[in-house]
Amino acid sequence: MTPPDEDLFAPEVIADPYTYFGRLRETDPVHWNPVSSLWIITRHEDLTWLVRHHELFSSAVIRNDPRPPYPPIEAGHQPLFEAVRTFRADQLVEQDRPGHLAMRNAVHEYFTPTAMESWRPFVRRAVADLLDEAAPAGGMEVLTTLAAPLPVRIITEMMGVPNDDREHLRALADKLLYINRGEPNRMAPLMEGISGMIDYVAPKVDIRAREPANDFISVLARAEQEGVFTRHQVLVNTALLLFAGHETTMNLICNGTLALLRHPDAWRSLVTDPEGLARQATEECLRYDPPVKSTQRIAAVDVERRGKTIRKGDRIRWIMAAANRDPRVFPDPDRFDLTRQPNLHVSFGAGIHYCLGAALARIEGQEVFRALAERFPSLRLAGGPLEYQPSIQFRSLKALPVTW
Amino acid sequence: MEPALQITVDHHRCVGNGQCVSLAPAVFAHNEAVQSVVHDPSGAPEAVVLKAARFCPTGAIRVADAAGRLLFPPENAP
């Protein structure tokens, strides 16, 4: 279905982005959307080209975006919106080179696949604990029981948050999720989350600057001492870590569980060999219904692509959800197939901004899908309509009830 | 001069993150598709090459010594 007015937030496009963006991919792969005033890039080849050419496409999107917030916010909340914008403009993901290189290098080592592999036992235990708590009920709502608490548990451990502060951080993490919500009053809880994070983290940075430990805040404190990050950037990026690892992992777990349960053959395969198939299952879940549907760039120069001229300053949205179903790269792309090899999905992006947390996300997905298949082989959807947050960026289920 | 390391980059995995190119610019270069290719396996000390391999966010780089003995990734890695 094509919404006649090209409204990217139309309910049918939020419910099913694949039909609309898939049609664009086949008919007009470099498409100008007049309603949102941006280019939409949908083919796998174009998307990887765009994302790998950071010199052509800037990531400094938020500070250069003149549009009012959408969906609209409450009258009187514009100053809150501006404060959130100032805050988010200092995020690592919003930086271009040369500044980005030093910042990325400062935090990159913490998140390498080798380093993240050492977290697997902690992730496995956290998953087991959450499923232990859920097991007696005979069913659960996946988002609130498993998908939301798991990444917060892991990230707060990486931040070195003591046990007594966990609930406080979890409440702040829940408020940061309003970045991706549609409610008109969302700027208020979001700003509470941001301010709360700044108040909580700032004194920790001072402590870690004096007494470094093995945690992520120590990494940022050292980068501040070396002049790579300002204090504001340290605080912003700690909050970014909490948000980015939370929202996306929630979506990976919910969307992946949904895909597995909607494809009984795939689920049965995983149940037969949870350990052997967890890795490929996670990659296929990432491809089939990615946690992040799309991301933005701004053209840094005039660029030609497929006969269209993208002008310097034009905004561009690249749709991973469409590129992941590109038949030029994926045979039978709408089929959910755990044996797909290679699986060249672009769900973590590419280029210099390739998802910093990708290795951790993969481990979380692998451990969750493996544990679900081992413990609840009779897992099934509990029924009822499924609803998504009204976001063009994130593919976020509001709830996912299951039974076993 | 020491015998050259055997370095390979898996282009099914390489996403053009550029860590290897920035850490060992004499060893790794980006091709037209902005994927890493080995330019000169002797262009940096072994420790630097191994660091570049370890910093690859997708584990695309494999390093063996001149005799073919695997140095990275570790044997039990995914």
Cα A215 from Cα A225, distance rounded (Å): 16
Q: Say which DSSP state A384 is in.
A: S
| A105 Cα distance to chain centroid | 21
- Nearest alpha carbon to residue A26 among A327, A320, A315: A327
- Nearest alpha carbon to residue A17 among A291, A210, A243: A291
Question: Is residue A183 classed exposed, middle or buried when 0-12, 13-18 and 19+ CB atoms within 10 A define those classes?
Answer: middle
User: What percent of chain B has a predicted confidence (pLDDT) above 90?
Assistant: 88
Q: Do A351 and B34 touch (CB under 8 A)?
A: yes
Which residues, 6 or more positions from A239, have their beta carbon under 8 angstroms from its beta carbon?
A: A87, A176, A193, A194, A197, A198, A201
Mean pLDDT value of segment B24-46: 97
CA distance A209 to chain B (A): 25
For residue B8, pLDDT over 60 is answered with yes
Which residues, 6 or more positions from A386, have their beta carbon under 8 angstroms from its beta carbon?
A: A258, A397, A398, A399, A400
β strands within A135-229, DSSP E:
139-141
What is the model's pLDDT at position B76? Answer: 64
What is the model's pLDDT at position A155? Answer: 95
Q: Do A113 and B59 touch (CB under 8 A)?
A: yes
For residue B77, pLDDT over 70 is answered with no
For residue B67, pLDDT over 80 is answered with yes
> Residue A14: what are its φ and ψ, rounded to 5°?
-65, -45
What is the model's pLDDT at position B3? Answer: 74
ipTM value > 0.90 = yes
> Which tokens hold the place of A297?
């760039």
Pick the residue from chain A with its C-alpha nearest to B61.
A113
- Residue A292 identity: V
Q: Do A52 and B33 touch (CB under 8 A)?
A: yes
* Numbered residues of chain A with Cβ closer than 8 Å to any chain B Cβ: 48-49, 52-53, 101, 105, 108-109, 111-114, 117, 279, 342, 344, 348-352, 354-356, 358-359
pLDDT by residue for chain A (404 residues), tens digit each?
A: 455 578 999 999 999 999 999 999 999 999 999 988 999 999 999 999 999 999 999 999 998 888 888 889 999 999 999 999 999 999 999 999 999 999 999 999 999 999 999 999 999 999 999 999 999 999 999 999 999 999 999 999 999 999 899 899 999 999 999 988 889 999 999 999 999 999 999 999 999 999 999 999 999 999 999 999 999 999 999 998 999 999 999 999 999 999 999 999 999 999 999 999 999 999 999 999 999 999 999 999 999 999 999 999 999 999 999 999 999 999 999 999 999 999 999 999 999 999 999 999 999 999 999 999 999 999 999 988 999 999 999 999 999 999 99
What is the model's pLDDT at position A65? Answer: 85
What is the model's pLDDT at position A382? Answer: 97
Task: State pTM to two decimals.
Answer: 0.96
Cβ pair A323, A333 in contact under 8 A: no
Q: Which residues of A touch B53 (CB under 8 A)?
A: none
What is the model's pLDDT at position B38? Answer: 98
- Nearest alpha carbon to residue A41 among A350, A316, A392, A395: A316
What is the model's pLDDT at position B74? Answer: 86
Nearest by CB to residue A342, choosing from B12, B19, B77, is: B12
Q: Do B58 and A358 touch (CB under 8 A)?
A: yes
Q: Do A354 and B57 touch (CB under 8 A)?
A: yes
Q: Do B74 and A114 touch (CB under 8 A)?
A: yes
